[in-house]
Chain A
Amino acid sequence: MAMLEVRDLHVAFPKGKKTEVEALRGVDLTLEKGERLGVVGESGAGKSMLAFAILNLIAEPGRVSRGSVTFHGENLLDLSERDIRGIRGNRISMIFQDPMVTLNPVLTIGTQMMETLRAHRRISDAEARKLCIEGLKQVAIPSAESRMEAYPHELSGGLRQRVVIAIALLTDPELIIADEPTTALDVTIQAEIMALILKLCRENDVALILITHDLGVVAEVTEKLMIMYAGKCVETGPTRQIIDAPTHPYTSGLLKALPQNAGRGTRLYQIPGSMPPITALPTGCAYHPRCERATERCKAEIPQLDGRVACFHPLNTAEEVQ
């Protein structure tokens, strides 16, 4: 049995008194121990919603309307709030986008780290302190002992995100969910932080769900990839395969639109239009109004994911190559 299995996950929000709209429209994923999965999509595609739903953190008035999230055989959606706390922040850790928001500005780094650790472990102050300092050293924070007394505002953005990673790793999690962990940082700091996450995941055999909009970052860090569009997974598979030979027209469009894939001074390939809001989804395939391969069937029928791709007219398939 896989470590994490998400089946047919739906998240719905009320619209008016009687109706609901779906932000997540049936997502499946499987993650083994130590595997690294990238989730890529535009804003509003449902990628953060997926992360929150996995941890049963969907805030009112939203709700998980269907589906299951099984972690080591246990459905997280059925657990009591008390029981899920033994998993959330402990066996599954999270790293969010903005470290200035994640860290408490009025507590020292040391206080926050020890608080996290002691919420999940029965250990003495001295032991907790020792583990926290080791944690800071693990993420290459210079003069770790003195940083324990520092407040978040005294650290730079890159160092703050290192502290957040150290906190995420304190409880020896099996899975880290990182939601756009480097979007608020500079490119050079992004490279440092992503290289660090990659190294730590490999060394400790930790699985990773990396949510990002950057295909370059997933290519560097993950082995599996999931492309999301309007609340659904449209393509999934090994990262390398998808980037080298995308089968969904949306994935292919995203890759072709990257400036590094175009000649200098030429026009870029562009996908027309923009992603529809979840309140105004078109009939059939949500991508069909922007798709150059769309036919009548795409307007009428919603394509289901057949292992790799959810499309009636995929590219780069065996038949097409012949």
Chain B
Amino acid sequence: MGNILEINNVSKTYGKTAALEAINVSFEEGKIYGLLGRNGAGKTTLLNLITNKFEATTGEILLGKESVWENPNAQSKICYMTEKNMFPKEFTVLQLLKSSFDFYENFDLEYALNLAEQFKLNIGKKFKTLSKGFESITKIIIALSTDCPLVLMDEPVLGLDAAVRDKFYRIFLDNFARKPRTFIISTHLIEEVSGIIEEAVIIDSGRLLLKKPVEEMLQMGYCVAGKSNNVDKYAEGRKVVHSEMVGNFKTITIYEPVSQRDNQTAASLDLEIVPVQLQKLFVHLTGD
């Protein structure tokens, strides 16, 4: 499948501060991406550039073959669920859903009302009086009821308890199966989405650190544990991203091409190889 979104050499500076530096990354049609990064890494800046909130300092962003900058046609194909609230303050949820119906080309109002019921959202309430969780739910419902080929979600599950998050993931996957399109989900709850996203895009201090299928990342990353000097022997010449020691017992996390993993050597050194979770790998790769 072709690319729906291409970000070509995009930088954004605010005064003297570089928020994003020379980002080159593309997103394919019909895939779910996780946009991951530490606080202040530049995730929201990137989403804001895609959606015409700010202009990139250099580079270009293409949707299909069109630039997204000041381009209503391109923007009409993007649905952006922001962490911030952009809605008129006095609107009830129902009014918001109806105005979304007027705003988006193909907004499924019936589906939206059905979701509101499933999430037990009171549509008669004013948006500004909603709890953080129900604010998120309202925004989720709007995003899922559009049929924009590109949907950006910035922290979609903010303020949702574990049970409601689980319900969201189920409804989200059902929605994706009915209407496959490209989702870019920015979240800090990495472990929860690790099975749901197909590829991870990691931004670190304004730079693109990596873009890879999650499964591939999880095969490249692994922990080796055992007697400290044996672990050191195994680690020689490998890319060690983290290391921990308790007494004489050492655990290291390695990130390298799968073909370089050497189970035999590890076994001969009496070392244990265990898988690493995406969240841990992310923490180690982004520098702690």
- Chains A and B are bound partners: no
Which residues of B are interface residues toward A (Cβ below 8 A)?
none
